[in-house]
Amino acid sequence: MTRSKLIFLAVLFLARPVFAQTDVTGDWDVTVNSPQGANTTLVTLKQDGEKVSGIFKSQQGQLPFEGGTLTGSDLTFTFTVTTQGMQIPITLTGKVEGATMTGKADFGGFAQGDWTAKRSAATETSTSTPTTPPATTTATTTSTTMTGLGGKWDVTLKTPGGDFPASANLTDDGGKLTGTFGSQMGEVAITGTVEGKAVKISMVARTPQGDLNVEMTGDLDGDSIVNGKAEIAGMGQMEWTAKRAKP
C-alpha cells in the first residue's frame, strides 16, 4: 500500500465529524406542568457556547437566571422562586428538537412534573419595559386586639434553603382570624381559625410560576406557636414557628 493511501485511511479513521451547535437564543413559550396545573410563561434565552442564561417574564415581573447548560441537544437550567421568604429551586431538563423542547421538571425535591416549549412569535414582549409586580393594597391592621392570636407575630419558616423570617399581623374575632402575612417579598392576605390551641391559617402565595395555596397549622403555647406545619399544595411540607412580637 502506498504512503498516500495510508495517509488517506488515517484521515478517515481519525477525523471527527463536526455537527452544527444547537442554538436556543430567542423567545420561547414555556409550559410547566406542576402539581398546581399547567402554566405558560414567556422565557427569553441567551446562549454563549454551551452556557445558557435567560429571563422568565410574567405578570408578576421578571425572573432572571444563569448557569444553564446545553450539551448537544440536552438542555438543563435552574431558576429559584422565592415566595413569602421560601426559596424553591425549579430545575428543568430536556431536549431541544428544532423549534420545540420537552423534558422533566423538579420542584426543589418536593415534586416532579414535565414541561414543553416552542419558539415564540411574541418577540415584541422580550423588548418591553420590565413589569413591576403589583403593589399589595391590603391594609395592615394597626389596632389589633391582644386576646387570642390578635397582634403581630414574628414567624420563622424552615425551608430547604434555610430559615427565613416573616411576620403576621392578625385580628382574632372570636376564633376567626384575618390579617396579613409579610416578608421581604411583600404581603398577602390571610384567613384562619383558632380553636382552643389549634391554629389554622390559609393564604395564596403568588410566584412567577402561578399561585400556590399554603395551609399552615400549629399549636398556640402562650406567646408562641409551636409544632407548626406549612403545607404547600402539591410541593410538600415545611416546619414553622412564631413568637408574639414585642411592643
Residue 215 neighbours by CB under 8 Å, 6+ apart: 200, 201, 202, 230, 231, 233
Find out whether 200 and 215 touch, Cβ atoms under 8 Å. Answer: yes
Residue given cell 397549622 in the structure block: 217
Q: What is the pLDDT of residues 124-173, one digit of tens each?
A: 433 333 443 444 333 333 333 345 788 999 998 887 667 778 889 999 88
Report the SS3 class of residue 125. helix
Contact 234, 35 (CB under 8 A): yes
Would the pLDDT of 220 be above 60?
yes
pLDDT, tens only, 26-76: 999 999 988 777 889 999 999 999 999 999 988 778 889 999 999 999 999
In the chain, the domains with their CATH numbers are 24-123 (2.40.128.120), 151-244 (2.40.128.120)
Which residues lie below 8 Å from residue 41, measured CB to CB, with a gap of 6+?
Answer: 29, 30, 32, 56, 57, 58, 208, 209
